Amino acid sequence: MGDLSEASARAPKQDRSRATRRRLLEAAVACLAERGWAGSTVAVVAEHAGVSRGAAQHHFPTREDLFTAAVEYVAEERSHALRALTGKSRADVVSALVALYTGPLFRAALHLWVAASNEDQLRPRVTELEARVGRETHHIAVELLGADESRPGVRETVQGLLDMARGLGLATLLTDDTSRRERVVAQWAKLLDEALG
Amino acid sequence: MGDLSEASARAPKQDRSRATRRRLLEAAVACLAERGWAGSTVAVVAEHAGVSRGAAQHHFPTREDLFTAAVEYVAEERSHALRALTGKSRADVVSALVALYTGPLFRAALHLWVAASNEDQLRPRVTELEARVGRETHHIAVELLGADESRPGVRETVQGLLDMARGLGLATLLTDDTSRRERVVAQWAKLLDEALG
- Read off the pLDDT of residues A135-148 as tens digits, 9 standing for 90 and up: 999 999 999 999 99
For residue B175, the chain A residue with the least C-alpha distance is: A127
A171 and A177 Cβ atoms separated by less than 8 Å: yes
Q: How far is B33 from chain A (nearest CA, A)?
A: 9
- Identify which of A189, A174, A30 has the alpha carbon closest to the alpha carbon of residue B127: A174
On chain A, the residues whose CB falls within 8 A of the CB of B134 are 171
What does the DSSP assignment read for A20-79?
HHHHHHHHHHHHHHHHTTTT--HHHHHHHHT--HHHHHHH-SSHHHHHHHHHHHHHHHHH
- Identify which of A126, A156, A152, A125 has the alpha carbon closest to the alpha carbon of residue A141: A156
How many structural domains is chain A composed of? 1
Mean pLDDT of chain A: 91
Cα–Cα distance for residue pair A57/B76, rounded to 1 Å: 48
Domain of B40?
A: 2-196
* Position A7 confidence tier, pLDDT thresholds 50, 70, 90: low
pLDDT tens-digit readout, B173-186: 888 899 999 999 99
Q: Do A157 and B127 touch (CB under 8 A)?
A: no
Q: Do B175 and A131 touch (CB under 8 A)?
A: yes
On chain A, the residues whose CB falls within 8 A of the CB of B156 are 183-184, 186-188
What CATH number has the domain bearing residue A21?
A: 1.10.357.10
On chain A, the residues whose CB falls within 8 A of the CB of B195 are 191
Q: Do A159 and B166 touch (CB under 8 A)?
A: no
Q: Do B113 and A36 touch (CB under 8 A)?
A: no
pLDDT tens-digit readout, A55-104: 999 999 999 999 999 989 988 888 888 888 889 999 999 999 999 898 88
- Identify which of A65, A167, A153, A13 has the alpha carbon closest to the alpha carbon of residue B109: A167
Q: Do B39 and A174 touch (CB under 8 A)?
A: no
Residues of chain B with pLDDT below 70 are: 1-9
Q: Do B156 and A186 touch (CB under 8 A)?
A: yes
On chain B, the residues whose CB falls within 8 A of the CB of A130 are 174-175
pLDDT-above-90 percentage for chain B: 68
Q: Which of left, alpha, beta for A40 (phi over 0: left; psi -120 to 50: alpha)?
A: beta
Q: Is the pLDDT of residue A3 over 80?
A: no
